[in-house]
Structure 1
Amino acid sequence: MYNRKLNKNIISFTHSILCTVIAYQNILQDLPNYHLLYNFSFGYFLWDIIYILINRDYNDLMFIYHHIICLLALNSMINNNDSEIINKVFFFGEASNFFNYVVYHCIKLDYLKKNIIFLKILQFLWFFYFRMILISQTIYEEFNNLNNKYFGYVLLSIHVLSFLWMSKQFKKISNYLLN
């Protein structure tokens, strides 16, 4: 049975995995291929923006803001502006999303509540580790090294969204556990 939202979730998960692999390869290589990450992610973010607008998924409007910031970051990266830092943040950011897709898929397929609660806790801890610890540490250590401080502040706005998302997830997990 075709389910538009589940298919979109699978596409997003696939992007997240492949983006993480590409960004990790860039971290390991002496001559990173930032253009591969740019081309792959540019296509995905553009597709998702169009998808949100065409399908009038108004609950996903914040993703348009997120995607535009990511597109600006990717553009900056391939123009040799803060490339290593941007690649590192992409690596942590995309890796942090893995369990978001798994949890969404399990909820839509009506998995047992106890399994979903376990996955939501795992999702929360995974996201916390990558976003709140690793990305926060990267921003703290690298902010003064950024060539484009304005971009740094815009990037911080995305990081604030991570804190808001964490707060929302914490409340959901608390409600699951209390009910």
Structure 2
Amino acid sequence: MKKLFSNKMVAIYLIAIAIGVGIGYLYNVKNNERQNQDRKVIYEEKIPYQQDVLAKKMIPRSKLIFETKYLENGEVVREVQTLNPSLYGKSREEIAKIYSDWEIKSFNDEEIVLYREKRGLPADYYIISSINGYVVLLKSDGNGGKEIVEKTDIPLESLTPFDRERVMKNIIVKDKDEAYQILANLSS
């Protein structure tokens, strides 16, 4: 009959016990880490699942688009930028706080579109109007202001009733050459 407690068997029992204790220790450490993480989450502000997923999806090729509708002529100007890394992971509400003068028109993982309406005309539009009874050429600055490009010697009274009415309501053109062509036609 073999001995139950031979030296080899004692060594095997001790190794088995050591392995069991090691596995139990590792399991306990992992379980404690999970519990600590769960406790941390309790104190964090919860973000709705959809926004959390969206924030994590924001990638360097995402776009930030600014759309401005100018009320004087109804044109919408779009400015497209690559999303700034400081905006990665921001929620819709955080973006709304950062760009408080803008309305969020679209918010997804590929692009954020911000929208606003603005008085006046886009920058570099030309306006044929009248000042002090004479025809003038103005240029818009994009912020509702206009600067005088040229004061003409064309009296408003010398225009046909149709042209006088057009000038008084402002003739708006995008191209400088077109503006000068209209001025040439008005002077003839």
What's the TM-score, normalizing by structure 2?
0.21
RCO comparison, higher one (Cα < 8 Å, 6+)? 1
CA radius of gyration, larger in: 2
Name the structure with the higher strand share. Answer: 2
Name the structure with the higher helix share. Answer: 1
